[in-house]
Structure 1
């Protein structure tokens, strides 16, 4: 049985528990996890998260009481923060902090990417963008819950039909997923028109899958068709950088991407695309693996058709 983010955060007043079967982030991924889930935390929890990410060695030496005093919070807040970061309790977080500190001491701390300036030489732009893309991929990999990913792949593998909703750059990511799925024989659509998305969603039933892609988690034109699909019994999946956003209310499974590092020359819609593409690639490969007997001949047929077309021209 899998647990969605809706279930994980649905109990008011209680510490948010990691989904059952979820794997705590590796020590080297702790900072990435903080960057990803930090915006969804309360301010007091953010102080705890920033402290452990900024000084893992110092915080690893502290008891739960000591960390609460250092951050001006409570012991309960420290425990809630540990759980929201993916650890069963503070003891597990403390062990991860000690391991992260050892990695930093060995010189394996992640590089920090600076914003791109208007007068940056193009060579510097290439370096900064490459580092930013690498960090986005690492952050997304750290944020992805394998339990949620497995459940999403399982639903897609047996689906009668798959609809993907996205606006703007997110629609381009959706189109990328649909093209991949079509080549292995899956029936998939990614309507760019929000009205068409809703009318398509009305036709979905149990056994179908609807996927919403929205970095902010609050894009109305994406949430509405997902809601309609959810209400009609389809399995729903959200790919978002804000797992606490409104889109999660209608998602059976939530796949979290990296938090976009927005700048004047690179809005969130551009920088979030890298993490989204990683997630849809993971979904596609997972579906192809589980439907290999059907997928392999379909891929071969599509390659042959394209090769024949190119040779004819």
Structure 2
């Protein structure tokens, strides 16, 4: 059973820049050339017709139109309008910072500065591209869930643990699973009224997809937190929360850089749930603080 992930049109130029950076690694070579061209020179590309951009990137008009639609725009005309807005934003001095990769011989001061810029950019990209309608639906499902299972391995497993410990502190029943066998056997027990959340940057991690599929097939509401909105994991997701990532480099692979984006998304989810369940969440949170207070004196 496959669900189509609908792209939403957004005239926000910041959202365009975020989406280009997020989708570029998963595009075909020709579509990537178009995406990188519009991201690197929005003002120049905004002045081009669809034919002109195709000639500039060595692609076809059809490729340009497909790229525009993949980025969330109904057509090339809408993309040009967004590019003009992005160019104006850059001229005003509010453009996203472009950082260079960390070199093996960089001084630590430069490493700190580059990582800080990349972290800020990742958070801004994630916030700009996050579909609040999908987030609202995930919050509603979590607030009403009888039980919440969260799947993640590696760096995403740490994010899964972070989310579950937050949910536990406001009185919800939540479990993080990084063992596939345990995750699947637990997923079998889920049903309508339960929630399963899969966290995977690539969207292709089999150890995460398998338990989500089982939960989906048993009637649980499912959520995918992923940096690839058209990846395999989303075919079993009722709701998709897209993450962004800092630029991958030799010294900072995607598994590391994606964690910042994932943590922002799960924090947004948690705060939304805490707001929705405030009458019970606030006393539960206060009780958890009190139970641990003597350990911090």
The answer for the alignment partner of 1:13 in structure 2 is: none
User: Which of the residues 170, 191, 196 maps onto 1:205?
Assistant: 191
Trace 1:222-261 onto structure 2 (pairs within 5 A): 222-261=208-247
**Shift of residue 247, structure 1, vs aligned partner:** 1.2
The answer for the alignment partner of 1:184 in structure 2 is: 170
What is the aligned-residue RMSD (CA, Å)?
A: 1.9
CA distance in 1, matches of 2:154, 2:276: 31
The answer for the alignment partner of 1:6 in structure 2 is: 3
**Shift of residue 91, structure 1, vs aligned partner:** 2.3
CA distance in 2, matches of 1:293, 1:23: 36
CA distance in 1, matches of 2:68, 2:138: 26
**Shift of residue 70, structure 1, vs aligned partner:** 3.0
Q: Which moved more, 1:80-89 or 1:215-224?
A: 80-89
C-alpha change, 1:119 and 1:66, in structure 2 (3 Å) is: closer
Count of equivalent residues: 296
**Shift of residue 42, structure 1, vs aligned partner:** 2.6
Q: 1:13-35: per-residue Cα shift (whole Å, max 9, x none)?
A: xxxx62xxx45152133222101
TM-score scaled by structure 2?
A: 0.92
CA distance in 2, matches of 1:182, 1:218: 28
C-alpha change, 1:43 and 1:25, in structure 2 (3 Å) is: farther
List, as ranges, runs of 4+ consecutive aligned residues in structure 1 with deviation greater than 6 Å: none
User: Which of the residues 14, 17, 42 maps onto 1:56?
Assistant: 42
Q: Does 1:165 align with 2:162?
A: no
Assess if the C-alpha contact under 8 Å between 1:60 and 1:95 holds in 2: yes
**Shift of residue 223, structure 1, vs aligned partner:** 1.0
**Shift of residue 188, structure 1, vs aligned partner:** 0.2
The answer for the alignment partner of 1:174 in structure 2 is: 160
Trace 1:128-139 onto structure 2 (pairs within 5 A): 128-139=114-125
User: Which of the residues 29, 35, 38 maps onto 2:21?
Assistant: 35
1:227 match: secondary structure: helix
Q: 1:179-200: per-residue Cα shift (whole Å, max 9, x none)?
A: 1101111110002322111111
Q: Does 1:153 align with 2:139?
A: yes
**Shift of residue 108, structure 1, vs aligned partner:** 2.5
**Shift of residue 257, structure 1, vs aligned partner:** 1.2
TM-score scaled by structure 1?
A: 0.88
CA distance in 2, matches of 1:119, 1:172: 30
- Which structure 1 segments of 5+ residues have no match? 9-16
Assess if the C-alpha contact under 8 Å between 2:34 and 2:64 holds in 1: yes
- Which structure 2 segments of 5+ residues have no match? none
Q: Does 1:262 align with 2:248?
A: yes
CA distance in 2, matches of 1:176, 1:24: 31
Q: Does 1:101 align with 2:83?
A: no
Assess if the C-alpha contact under 8 Å between 1:214 and 1:241 holds in 2: yes
1:77 match: secondary structure: helix
Assess if the C-alpha contact under 8 Å between 2:13 and 2:82 holds in 1: yes
Trace 1:290-309 onto structure 2 (pairs within 5 A): 290-309=276-295
**Shift of residue 144, structure 1, vs aligned partner:** 1.6
CA distance in 2, matches of 1:138, 1:199: 38
CA distance in 2, matches of 1:73, 1:125: 37
1:6 match: secondary structure: coil
1:211 match: secondary structure: strand
Assess if the C-alpha contact under 8 Å between 2:188 and 2:215 holds in 1: yes
**Shift of residue 261, structure 1, vs aligned partner:** 2.7
